[in-house]
Chain A
Amino acid sequence: MTAESITTVLWLLGGVTGYWATPARWRDVFLPTFTAALLGYYAPASLAALTALAAITWLAAHGRRSSTASAARLMSGAGFILLTLVIYRISSRELQEDGSTALLLGFAFYTLRLMHYLFEVYKRTITHGEWRTFVAWLFFFPSISVGPIHRYPEFRRDLLRQRWDSALFSEGLERILYGYVKIVVIASGLIGGHASPWIESTAQASPTAHAWLLCLEYGALLYFKFAGYSDIAIGVSRLLGFRIIENFNYPFIAANMGDFWKRWHISLSSWCRDYAYMPVWSRWRNGALAAIASMLILGLWHELSWRYLVWGLYHGTGIMLWQRWHTATTDYRQRLPRAAQWAWYGLAWCLTLGFVIAGFAITRETTLNKGIALLMQLFGVR
């Protein structure tokens, strides 16, 4: 099921029409019912797995009233979900190698949302269970396939406030249009159709420039496709009257690695900030350790493989180096004349962009060895 297929567009139209045609008090029932029909049609195995995990999470969060055993139960629930994600990641790698289509739709995003729910119940920011809202949030069809990883409290707020808002509906249509432009026109049409053949033709002329172009092409494709999907998900959510978290905010204008990760896949990086970076930082008061731990988790969430482990380490190290550099140079930088500060900013932007593009070399290739070879080629080493 991909967003650019006509059938999916028709499903989405049906979902939006059905949602507003349903009486207000039954809309939280309509959302999961519609998603279940969609999943049952496209991926029945996904429907069974996601429903089972939702039930387990609900029992872990609200199974018994007593609060004494709740911490252990919540953490066991989160551990179980993490275990299913690990098993899924291992098995899906084999399935992908076999070309099988039995992958579970949106499973990796879904597990992060379940863990978010359990952690927030543990922190007592979610104090009482409302199972209809819980199920409607989990089975929210605009974001179930590829995110964004939207949070429960915001969803609940929008569900309670739900009313027709023509301005929001219009914004939604605009975002969907821009999403399709990003995926179909820029990514598939301009980059895939025009830029890629030209990049291939540069291989003989300059291997180093070719390597940079390959990484740039991969990063641009990844960005425009994923940002396009996020635009469609955000747009469809707005058609239903929900404002869900943004996923990208011009990541390539970032002038440091900390800023980059506040702009790239925001819903995932903020998840890692809240549930990996902050706990590690609170426990050990060590920003470097927290950065590396959270980026390792972020990397391995994408794929359980050496290349994503190295990619996570690469970005964790980048954030750590930036933190040290920022602390060491802040006073000096603030005393510089304005023109020098702008030059400093420009240089920082170039370095950040170069670091990010070089990092794409690690994940662009199918194995770590090939990725490292491409990374070396960026610097003229063959």
Chain B
Amino acid sequence: MYHYLTHYLPTPIANTIMVLWYSACLLAILWYWDIDSQAFRYLEL
């Protein structure tokens, strides 16, 4: 993703977008973090 952004945008803008994007991903993970091991059992093949 960073590769494409730096191709089309100046590096400082690409860097800012990536930092915001990663932060949004991390915040979303923390928001929904819910350990439910039973729901994942079927994947332990």
Contact = CB atoms under 8 A, between A and B. Distances in A.
Interface of A: 1-6, 96, 103, 105-109, 145-146, 174, 177-178, 180-181, 184-185, 188-190, 192-193, 225-226, 229, 302
Given A145-B44, A188-B39, 12 more contacts: A2-B40, A103-B44, A106-B44, A106-B45, A108-B45, A177-B22, A177-B25, A180-B25, A184-B28, A192-B39, A226-B43, A302-B45
B32 A229 contact: no
A-B residue pairs, 9 tightest by C-beta = A189-B32, A108-B45, A185-B28, A2-B40, A180-B29, A185-B32, A184-B29, A2-B37, A184-B32
Looking at chain A's contact residues, the main secondary structure is helix
B35 A4 contact: yes
Contacts of B40: 2-4, 225
A188 B36 contact: yes
Contact of B31 (A105, A189, A302): A189
Interface of B: 1, 22, 25-26, 28-29, 31-37, 39-41, 43-45
Contacts, number: 62
A146 B45 CA distance: 7
19 contacts: A1-B44, A3-B40, A4-B35, A5-B35, A105-B44, A146-B43, A146-B45, A174-B1, A177-B25, A181-B28, A181-B29, A184-B29, A184-B33, A185-B29, A188-B39, A189-B28, A189-B34, A225-B40, A226-B43
B39 A181 contact: no
A188 B32 contact: yes
B17 to A, nearest CB: 14
B34 A188 contact: yes
A109 B43 CA distance: 11
B1 A146 contact: no
Contacts of A190: 32
A371 to B, nearest CB: 15
B45 A5 contact: no
Contacts of A105: 44
Contacts of B39: 188, 192
Q: Which of B1, B31, B41, B45 has the most CB of A within 10 A?
A: B45
A226 B45 CA distance: 12
Contacts of A2: 35, 37, 40, 44
A6 B36 CA distance: 12
A185 B25 CA distance: 9
A358 B25 CA distance: 32
A109 B45 contact: yes
A225 B22 contact: no
Nearest to A1: B44
B28 to A, nearest CB: 4
B22 to A, nearest CB: 6
A108 B15 CA distance: 42
B1 A229 contact: no
A145 B44 CA distance: 7
B32 A193 contact: yes
Nearest to B40: A2
B36 to A, nearest CB: 7
Contacts of A185: 25, 28-29, 31-32
Nearest to B22: A177
A105 B35 CA distance: 19
Contacts of B22: 174, 177
Q: Which of A6, A107, A174, A226 has the most CB of B within 10 A?
A: A174
Contacts of B31: 185, 189
